[in-house]
Each structure stands twice: as C-alpha cells, then as structure tokens.
A and B are shown apart, each in its own frame.
Chain A
Amino acid sequence: MIGLIGKLGGVNLLPVAVMLVGLVLIGAPSSWVTLTVAGLAMGMMVFLMASGLSLVFGLMDVLNFGHSAFVSFGAFVAASVLAGLSGWLSAPSVLLNVAALALALIAALAFGLAAGLFFERVIIKPVYKDHLRQILITMGALIVSEQIILALWGGTPITVHRPAFLEGAWIIGDVSIEIYRGFAFALGLIVFAALYVMLNRTRLGLLIRAGVENREMVEALGFRIDRLFVGVFMLGSALAALGGAMWAGYQTLITPALGGEMMIVVFIVVIIGGLGSIEGTLLGALMVGLISNYVGFLAPKLALASNMILMMAILMWRPSGLRPAVK
C-alpha cells in the first residue's frame, strides 16, 4: 500500500487527501468546491510569498524574519497604483482593466527587487553566519517597515480596488467561484512553473539547487555563491511583494499589520514544505490554504490554531518537512 502511494506521488498527494477528507466532513459539494477553490487560491498566494524565503534559507542559512515586510510593501504599493488608476479599473475596456492590474503588479515586483537588493546589502550581509543577530535584526527591520507603512499610508485600513474584469463570480450549477480566486490560482501556477523550469532546466537553477545542498562545494568549484545569493534574495523579495499585491486584491482591505500577520503563515509553510525546496513550499502552501478554509467553515474557533496544528503534525511525522532539499 505504501509502495503504491509512493508510486502515485507520495507526499505530493497530501493536498488531494486533504481535499477528500474535506469533502467527507463538509458534505455539501457546492460548499466544498467553493472552499476548495478559495483554499487553493490562498495557497498559491502564500506560495508566492514563501517561495523566496525557502530558497534564501536553504541557500545561505539566512533566517529572514523581515521577509514579510516585502509582502506588506507589495500590497500597499499595488493598492496605491490601483487607487491612482481607479478610472482604468472601472472602465468598460478590459484592456484598461488589465493594464491597471499589470502596472500594479509590476510596481510591486519592481519595488520588491529594489528593496530586496537594499535589504540584502545593508541588513543581511553584515550578519551572515550569525542566526541570533539575523533574527534580532530582521525582526527589527519588520517592525521598522510597519512603522514606515504607517507613516506613509496612515493607520486606517485601505480599501483595495479590483479591476472590473476580476469582479464577480462564475456560477456553475449551485457552485459559485470568485473570478479573482481563479486568477490568483492561475498566476501562482504560472510562477511555480516558471520557477520549476528555472531551477530544473537552467544552469542558474542547477547552481541554486547545488548551493542549497552544499554551499561550500559550489564555491570550491569556482562559483561565487554570495553573488548568486543576492539574485535569489531579490527574486524572493519580488515574489513576496507580488504575493502581497495579490493578497491585497484578495482581502480588499489592508492594514500596516499585514506583514506581521502573514509572517507566521509564511514560516509555517516553509517549515512544513522543507527548507530550500520550491516543490515543498507549494505543497505546504496548498495544505495551509485548504485546511484554513475547511477549518474556518467547520470549526471557526479553531481556524487560527489549525495551521499550527498542521505544522506540529507534519514535523512529528517528518522532522525536515515534506520535501526538504537534500542537506
């Protein structure tokens, strides 16, 4: 039986198993479909936020508790761009709708890249190989970033406008699927596919995978892993900002505390998935997304605890996470 499960995909089947258990417990297929789509969409957005953190930790042993600052800034930068282009968002032209959304996402990505470069050079580089200082300094950076957001955007929750073409829902029978959730899932899938191809089909990806396993040996082969790390850090920051931008559209109301709130979820996903593994991060994110939505429906009082319980259960079963990069 275990051999058969292994041949079918092993731990890759866990999200499917969670969905099946959810179907049994929820009972009503229409509610289950709605919750499942919401869970998958949430999972994909959390995957965007977490994938960079996983690579950064795997490649350089850097514990960046400030990672979710990029999520916050991505959300606020995108919200500001969307607010500035509100005329385009509500225009009947889908082209203008798409342009507004694309500009907002590009702005978040560009901010993430630039902020990632600054963060790595100024905050991370001086504390390489010192986990305690990394934790203290990056947590400090997260708090400072929240205060900067508070100073720039104020403490009042900001409403995020969605483009008209992503408003509403697809109605199939008695099942309702929010269009935005479908879009978020599709975008996450595209980013995962692009990351997968980059990591598994390019020389750059080969270097990253090798660096995650044995940084020292990659350097002994003649490659400057510290320079590679800057690029990975910037990519991870940009993806986190993109995830934040998508999350802003999903929630439609954001506050400066967004980064701190998401930090816990992002770390849970990275730990569940296994450090340094994109596939593991996706698995962890999907499971967190699905379980959050199912538990939120079945036992709302347990919703906050569900992710923590999931992480504890996974770690008791697999101490290194579901699919850790080989160390």
Chain B
Amino acid sequence: MTEDVLSYNREQNIKLPDGSIEKQTTTLNLGPTHPATHGVFQNILEIDGERVVSAEPTVGYIHRAFEKIAERRPFNQITTLTDRLNYCSAPINNMGWIMTCEKLLGVQTPKRVDYLRVIIMELSRITDHVICNSVIGVDSGALSVFLYVMEYRELVYEIYEEVCGSRLTTNIGRIGGFERNFSDTAWQKLEKFLNEFPAALKEFENLLQRNRIFVDRTVGAGPISAERALNYGFTGPNLRASGVDYDVRVHTPYSSYQDFDFNIPIGTTGDVYDRWLVRNQEMWESLKIIRQAYEKVQQFKGADAEVYHAHAPEYYLPPKKDVYTKIEELIWHFKIVMGETEIPVGEVYHSVEGGNGELGFYLISDGGRAPYRLHFRRPCFIYYQAYPELIKGSMLADAVVILSSLNLIAGEMDA
C-alpha cells in the first residue's frame, strides 16, 4: 500500500487537504425543498450517524413583505394578504383581520354574523388539523390516512365556495359581516359534512391512535415541558399538548365564542403523540361548536334570519342595485372603494385562535386610508425557534416527524 492511498479517508473515499482534522459528524440539508419539510424552509443538521447533534433553521424563502405592502393598502384589500399567511386555515386569518378592523372602527356585529363566522372558523380549524395530523401519519409511513381525509377537506372547500366563491385563499367576509348570506346549498353542504365527517374522523382516529407503529414512532418524540413551551412563545395545540390550557377562544372570547359549550383538550408531555391527540380532540370539539352554531343560526326567524352583515354604511359596501339608483349609496360606494372613509386614529391588538396558535394583529392607524403599521403575530414563526432544542439527540427520522407535528406553514412563517 503506497503513501498516496493512505492519505485518503477510507470511509468517505475523499482526499482531504493536508493537515485537516477529520470531521466526525455529517452535515445534512433538510430542505429548503424536500418532501418532508412540507413547505419551503431549510434546516442544516449536524448528524452523528443517525443522531441529530445540532440544527440551524433558516427561514425567509418565501418572504413577500406583507407588512410593507399593507402600509399602502386600504383595510379591505389587506384581507387578501392574510389569506396567504396560514393557507391551510385562510378563513381564520381573514376573520382575525376583519375583527381587528372592526375593533378599531367600533363596528358591532349582530349575533347571527358571529355565529356564521364561528361556523366558518371552526370548519377551517378542522381542515387545518386534518392536514397536520394526517401529515404526521405520512411522515411516519402511513400515506393512506392522508388521502382518506382529503375527501372531507374537499367538502369543506365546497362550503367555502358556496359562501365566498373561492377555495384555498378565500378572502371570506367583509368588515361588518359577509359579502352575501349563506345559500341553501351552503347549508345543505354543511349538513352533508356534519353527517359524513364524524364517521370518517372516527376511522381516521382508529387507524392511528392505537396503531402500534404510529405510537412507537411518536410517543416520546420531541417532548417539551410547559415552562419551556411558554418561554418559547408556544401557543395553540402545541402549547396545550404540554399541559397549558391557554386558548384565545376562551381567554379573550371574540365572535361570541362565550355562547358555546366546548372543552379545551390538553396533553401532558408535549411530545408528538400528545400534539396529535390534542389536535384530534380539537376536531371533535370543533364539530360540537359547529353543531351548536348551526342550531343557534336556525333559531333566527323572519327578518333576523336574513341578517348577514352589520349596519355600517361607512365600511360595508351597499347592494349594487342601490348604488345604481340611490345617491347616498353611490356616495358610500365611492368612498369605500377609494378609501376615503373616516378611519379613527389609534392602535389595537387583536388575536384569534388560529389553526396553529395565537394569530395576532397589531394595527396602528394614523387616520390614513392604509395602516401606519401592521404587524402579524405569526404563531409558527415564534415557536419554530424551539425546533433545534426539540430534535437535539433524537433520530433523524424523528426529526422529520417532529417537524410535521409542529404544524409549520411556510407562508405564515415568512409573511
């Protein structure tokens, strides 16, 4: 054996530069585009064999400067930006933003509008959790559950389509209420969903909850204590999985959530399995809320049953036929479209329970047509920082499952 051959690193078959110390760990790029990241973000992992030594997350690949764009748009045009934050539960973002505006402008919404909003928000919570939970299944090797529940997400998207005309980026709702009332078809589709989904959810649960392979893969993976989770700014199901019963819907009720009877499911260890269980139970609670809201909406009779927006002519577009025939409506229409309505000066923080945590809007208005400053508190941007701590020392395969269990949405993280 000659000298030349000996200077080769035998395992890697690479000729190292003279005097270099052989590296004991491997650097691995997880992402930015990788099937297991479910979004565009990168993790530079240092792995020792199969064990993760450290991780360096990089975000910002799809940053679109929403906060800057919002400084030039009238309030009703910002709703479309919020669609693109957490696109798995776009209606919650829309509603959150609209309610922030309503809080600033002092618009009171009728009860029926609140209940309709609750229905839409809880439907989108279900679609969000269904995706996240089934993706945990996919990443631990069970693809069929994911395909199985997609059918029911489709039913929800059809309801959105009836209410607002679009499916994924919904732009649902207006300041004051909805663009139009729920049609009869929308109610029929909701009934169909309420009748069919529980059986599918039960089957989904049966496929994973006590599945030996799934339990072995997820129990004990990526646990976080309640103290650490709070310190890391966890909110939503990820925080509740650690045993803290913080839910914006209960703590600071908005959109009449105080009228509904539901439980906050919590976990104990905050591992992947607990996060899965919490989300799963939340879907059942959401179904419960939707049923209650549906019953409450049915109780409105006569003229009350036709209410789908608040009386706020300064902010809510008048019916088109009145715009063509009445001068007052024409003026309001013009003012709203051109952004010439009176906007109060002030600052307001409003938050809603989004699909993956507390989605907050910090809005500063200087009286102009566009916000002076708008900041989105994006839950997954804040809790994604904990990822290196969560995966340190775990297996590479677990790192992938932990990533999907956090319900990270790249659109929301990068804003």
Decide if A and B are genuine partners: no
Residues on B lying within 8 angstroms of A by beta carbon are none
Residues on A lying within 8 angstroms of B by beta carbon are none
